[in-house]
Amino acid sequence: MTKLIKKFIVDRFPSRRSELAAIRRSRILFLWLCYIGVLIYFCREAFKLSQDERTLSYKEDDSSPIPAPFASFFSLFDFTISCETGYYNNNSTGDCTEYVGDTYYYQDFGYSINFSAPDLGFDNPNDNANALFAIQLTVNITDPKFTGGDAGLTAFFADKASKMQRIKGVSSYESTAVLANTYYFANNQSYALFYSRKILSRLHQTAVNVLSGNGDHKPIAMISSILVSYPNIFVEGYANIAIRPNSYIVIMETEKSDLTVGDFLSVVGGIYATAMGIYLFLYGSYEMNPWGLIQNLPCVRHKVRSALYDSLRPNIPFSGPILSKNLSSDEKVVAVEQRLLSLEFFLKEYVVSVNNIVKDDTHKRDIEAPTEKGVKISEN
C-alpha cells in the first residue's frame, strides 16, 4: 500500500528533465493548490451531504372534495353526540349520526366518542350548487352524575387518514398537528370549527435511492384549524360544533433533498475536471499511462508485466546497445527494424490507436526477432 501511495504521488508530480526549474516549481505548486482546493471542496460538500438538508416545494390542488375531519371527543361524564348535515341552496338537513362511534370509558381519561365520516366531503360551492355547507355536531351530557357546570369536554381534530393509533410514535408532524387542533368546549356555547387540509409528501431515503434523491415519499395528511365560539346562540344540549372548511384548496408540500450522492459526485468531479483543464491549458498534458487500477493491483500487476514482456522479448529495452554487438550490418539493420516494429506495436496497443490512419496490409506485419527460435510478435 505504501508503494502504491508513493507511486501515485510520483505520477501526480512527474519530473521533466528538459523543463525549466522555475516552470517546474510553478507547475508543482499549481497542482498542489488544485488538489488542496478540491479536497477542501470535497470535505465541504461531504459535510453538507451528511446534514441531509431538504427543501419543500408547494403545489395547490382543488380537484377533489375536502374530506370531513376525524374527531375524538373526551369528557369526564357520559355523553352522546348527534350529527346533522346542511347544504347550500337547500333548507333541508341530513342525518349523519351513523358516523358517530360508540362510547368508550377509559379510567385515565373518562368517556370518549369518535367521529369519522369518510363519505362526507366539502365541494366548492362555485362548482357544486348543492355542496355540503356544514356538519353540525351536538354534544349532550347524559350522565346522571352531571349536575351542570363544566363537564371537561375536549376534542382533537385530525385528517381522516390520521387515526388514534397512528398519533404516537409515527411522525412528529402528525403528533404536532393533532396537538395544534385540540380544543376545550364550555357548557352552553356554540362553536364553528374552520379548517384547511395540507398533505406533506415526506421523503423517506433508503440506501438505494439516496443516490438519486428520488426516494420513496410517505404522504402525511394534516389539517390546520381555528375555533370560533358563539356564546348562548342557538345552543342545544351541552355544546354545538359546526365544522366547515375555510379553504377548498389542498396544499401539497413535497420534500426534496438539497444534495444527493449523485449531485455530490458530479459537483466535485466537475470542480476537479475544471482544475485539471486549467492545468493542461497552462502546462500541457501528462505523459500517457495506459494502465489503470486493475492492472496495478498486487495480484494482477506481475501477470500484466510478464505478459507484455513475453510479447516483446527479446526486442526490449527498445534503446538497448544493438549497434555495439558483434553483428553484421544486415543483422544490425534487422535488429533495429524489429525493435522499431516492437515499439510501434507497443504504441498501437497501449498508447494511441492507428487503425484509422494505416492500411490494412500494414496490420498483418509480424515482428520477427533475430533469434534461433524465430520468435514472432503479431500486432493483432
Count of residues making up the chain: 380
Query: Is the CB of residue 264 less than 8 Å from the CB of residue 177?
Result: no
Helices of type H across 220-356: 261-283, 298-312, 329-350
What is the reported pLDDT for 80?
A: 94
- Cα separation of 75 and 114, whole Å? 12
| CATH number for the segment(s) 60-257 | 2.60.470
What is the reported pLDDT for 161?
A: 64
CA distance readout (Å), 298 to 169, 301, 305, 307:
52, 5, 11, 15
Q: Cell 409528501 belongs to which residue?
A: 201
- Cα separation of 20 and 58, whole Å? 60
Domain boundaries in the chain?
A: 1-53+259-287, 60-257, 292-380
What is the reported pLDDT for 371?
A: 45
- Cα separation of 69 and 117, whole Å? 7
CB proximity list for 62: less than 8 A, separation 6 or greater? 124, 248, 249, 250
Q: Using one digit for the tens of pLDDT, what is the confidence trace for 225-269?
A: 999 988 766 667 889 999 999 888 888 888 877 777 777 888 888
Report, in this order, helix, strand and coil percent for the chain, each rounded to 5. 35, 30, 35
- Cα separation of 380 and 363, whole Å? 7
Comparing CA positions, the residue from 175, 185, 187, 194 lying closest to residue 247 is 194
Backbone angles phi, psi at 194, to 5 degrees: -105, 130
Query: 81 by DSSP, 3-state: which?
Result: strand
Query: Is the CB of residue 41 less than 8 Å from the CB of residue 75?
Result: no
* Three cell numbers written together for 72: 375524538
What is the reported pLDDT for 112?
A: 94
In a structure prediction context, what are the per-residue pLDDT tens digits for the chain, which is 380 residues long? 566 555 555 555 556 666 778 888 888 888 889 889 999 999 988 888 777 777 778 888 877 788 899 999 999 999 999 999 998 887 778 899 999 999 999 888 899 999 998 888 899 888 888 888 999 999 999 999 998 888 999 998 988 765 543 444 445 555 555 567 889 998 888 899 999 988 888 776 655 455 555 667 777 788 889 999 887 666 678 899 999 998 888 888 888 777 777 778 888 889 989 988 888 888 777 666 667 778 778 788 788 778 777 776 666 665 556 666 677 777 777 777 877 777 777 777 777 666 655 555 544 444 444 444 444 444 44
What is the reported pLDDT for 369?
A: 42
DSSP 8-state code for residue 60: E
Q: Is the pTM of this model over 0.75?
A: no
- Cα separation of 339 and 249, whole Å? 81
